[in-house]
Amino acid sequence: MKHAMVIGGSVAGLGVGLALSNKGWRVTVLGSDETPLPPSHREAFETWKRRGSPQTRHSHALLARLRNLICEHAPDLLERLLACGAEELRFTDRAKQLFGNPPGEPGDDEIVSLACRRITFEWVLRRYVLDSGRVEIKDGVDVTGLVAARRGPGDPPRVTGVRIAGPGGERVLDADLVIDASGRRTRLCDWLPEIGTAPVRAESSPCGIFYTSRFYQLRPGVEPPSLDGGLVGVDLGYLKVGIFAGDSRVFSITMAASPQDDPMRSILRRPGFEAAVAGVPLAARWSSPELAEPVTGVHGMAGLTNARRWLVAGGEPLALNFFAVGDAQIHANPITGRGCSLAFVQAFDLADCLEAHADDARDAALAFDACVERNVVPWYHLQVSQDADAVEVGEAQLRGENPFEEKNPDGSNNPKGFMRALLREGLVPALEEDPVLLRAFARTINLLDPPGDLMKNPEVLRRVLDSYGRRAERPPRYDGPTRDEMLARFDAAAAAA
């Protein structure tokens, strides 16, 4: 039995453990966090210290792509998640609720996301791979580097294990294969050149947001407002607000704003967060005391980036028997909730590539790189361009301009402004009016259709344009205060505090 060593025991590392052990690999997962697994998912939410993955305390959407991979490869894992209070959120239920009984389409049954807290998901996943008996998890182990050998001059380094820090100094752990799943702060750009590879090409750009999340428990017996596919949100331009369904009748509210917008940092503290929640009708409705009570403080997270590292250069792998998955390979703005799903996509792709190229490490590396290019990179590119646009929108609003204008001041067309208006006043309201658009949108945000296809579909575009043409017929919609009004709310909250 071949032995794979995985660096990092979070969602990507555990996903690799699951995928490779399903194919007969013996897997050891090394995690730097030195905290034992709590006895239940409920205690995990209260006590599990995950310093290495601080985002475990934030809202997470678990998309249909992820849920479907679990159904396909580990249906009993899905059973366990449901037994711990996770819920399946079906497009068909939402369509019925909104449109009565609209005609179905093949594939509608695939559009099912999971309402589950990230910590519950990770706890159940970890328990599941441990119970399989094929994966060993070692906590409190910090990997400090790689070990490699070369077969001859010109041969790329072949990774044969990892170096770990221990009380008595460094030790080497041998393996047939090493997978870096150590997250967005991976040190692979140092580790690879240390074993003699060329420098690792890497890029990174700011997401243009910081994040705050707070969790709430629904009171016994109350019915929550409805959720579209597990999350609903509003975008006020200067502030994005989302409601994320969790397991066990827990949900969370997340807000995101620009790090350049200093006064908006008030949402990082409880009085400012509560003032913002109270001012945005969607969030106020969900957090009303009759409906729910907060069960955590306000968690913040900044320094968010879109980043990518290349492990193949000029058509050749930098090293053999070494892979990176999850955030270590590529990560993007968390606001679209794709990280866990794409980490699982990579984990199962990797297992397939290793099986298909069991006798050729180079071919396996190139095949996996092609999978990343095909299945992950297009989502990354989409996010980078959307973030660049969101930054422009935010900056224009701070200057007092309207970034949604179809025309420039000189009367010429403003294609960017038109496209933004088309999405905001054409697509978004039509999601509650048109089952065809809701389906197409739900498939895309759940990673079931390729990115960028939505507005290229002539039928979708026709319907969005039609909806945009009817924008004046809709009653004006109030999503929340202007930025100045929100700042006044922060001042009042600070004075009261």
In the complex, the smallest distance separating the C-beta of residue 269 from ligand FAD, rounded to whole angstroms, is: 17
| Per-residue contact flags (x/-) with ligand FAD for residues 225 to 264, judged by CB under 6 A | ----------------------------------------
Alpha-helix residue ranges (DSSP H) falling in 23-90: 41-47, 64-73, 75-83
Which 114-143 residues touch ligand FAD, going by CB under 6 A? Answer: 141-143
Burial class of residue 105, CB neighbours in 10 A (0-12, 13-18, 19+): middle
| Per-residue contact flags (x/-) with ligand FAD for residues 401 to 440, judged by CB under 6 A | ----------------------------------------
Do 258 and 128 form a contact (C-beta atoms < 8 A)? no
Beta-bridged to residue 234, according to DSSP, are: 241
Beta-bridged to residue 231, according to DSSP, are: 244
In the complex, the smallest distance separating the C-beta of residue 487 from ligand FAD, rounded to whole angstroms, is: 24
In the complex, the smallest distance separating the C-beta of residue 274 from ligand FAD, rounded to whole angstroms, is: 20
CA 60/CA 41 separation, integer angstroms: 16
CA 118/CA 61 separation, integer angstroms: 8
| Per-residue contact flags (x/-) with ligand FAD for residues 174 to 193, judged by CB under 6 A | -------xxxx---------
Of 27, 24, 20, the residue nearest 3 (C-alpha) = 27
* 339 scored as a contact of ligand FAD (CB under 6 A): yes
Backbone angles phi, psi at 321, to 5 degrees: 60, 25
Determine the longest span between alpha carbons in the chain, in angstroms.
73
DSSP secondary structure string for all residues of 194-208: HTTPPPPEEEEEE-S
Do 254 and 280 form a contact (C-beta atoms < 8 A)? no
In the complex, the smallest distance separating the C-beta of residue 30 from ligand FAD, rounded to whole angstroms, is: 5
Q: Is 214 helix (H, G, I), strand (E, B) or coil?
A: strand
Which 303-332 residues touch ligand FAD, going by CB under 6 A? Answer: 326-328, 331
Q: Is 367 helix (H, G, I), strand (E, B) or coil?
A: helix
* 211 scored as a contact of ligand FAD (CB under 6 A): yes
In the complex, the smallest distance separating the C-beta of residue 415 from ligand FAD, rounded to whole angstroms, is: 31
* 338 scored as a contact of ligand FAD (CB under 6 A): yes
Instruction: CB nearer to ligand FAD: give 91 or 380.
Output: 380
Instruction: CB nearer to ligand FAD: give 170 or 459.
Output: 170
* 383 scored as a contact of ligand FAD (CB under 6 A): no
| Per-residue contact flags (x/-) with ligand FAD for residues 141 to 170, judged by CB under 6 A | xxx---------------------------
Which 19-48 residues touch ligand FAD, going by CB under 6 A? Answer: 30-33
Q: Which of 4, 5, 6, 10 binds ligand FAD (CB under 6 A)?
A: 10
Residue nearest to ligand FAD (CB): 52
| Per-residue contact flags (x/-) with ligand FAD for residues 266 to 305, judged by CB under 6 A | -----------------------------------x----
Instruction: CB nearer to ligand FAD: give 339 or 480.
Output: 339
Beta-bridged to residue 161, according to DSSP, are: 147, 174
Residues composing the chain: 497
Backbone angles phi, psi at 22, to 5 degrees: -60, -25
Instruction: CB nearer to ligand FAD: give 33 or 235.
Output: 33
Q: Which of 4, 6, 13, 192 binds ligand FAD (CB under 6 A)?
A: 13
| Per-residue contact flags (x/-) with ligand FAD for residues 51 to 80, judged by CB under 6 A | -xx-x--xxxx-------------------
CA 303/CA 164 separation, integer angstroms: 27
In the complex, the smallest distance separating the C-beta of residue 43 from ligand FAD, rounded to whole angstroms, is: 18
In the complex, the smallest distance separating the C-beta of residue 397 from ligand FAD, rounded to whole angstroms, is: 23
Phi-psi region at 8: left, alpha or beta (left = phi > 0; alpha = psi -120 to 50): left
Task: Give the number of other CB atoms < 10 A from CB of residue 316.
Answer: 12
The two tokens of residue 124 are 């159940």
Number of H helices, E strands in the chain: 17, 21
Residue 159 host element (H or E): strand 158-166
Q: Summarize as ranges the residues that interact with ligand FAD (CB under 6 A).
A: 7-13, 30-33, 52-53, 55, 58-61, 141-143, 181-184, 211, 301, 326-328, 331, 334, 337-341, 343
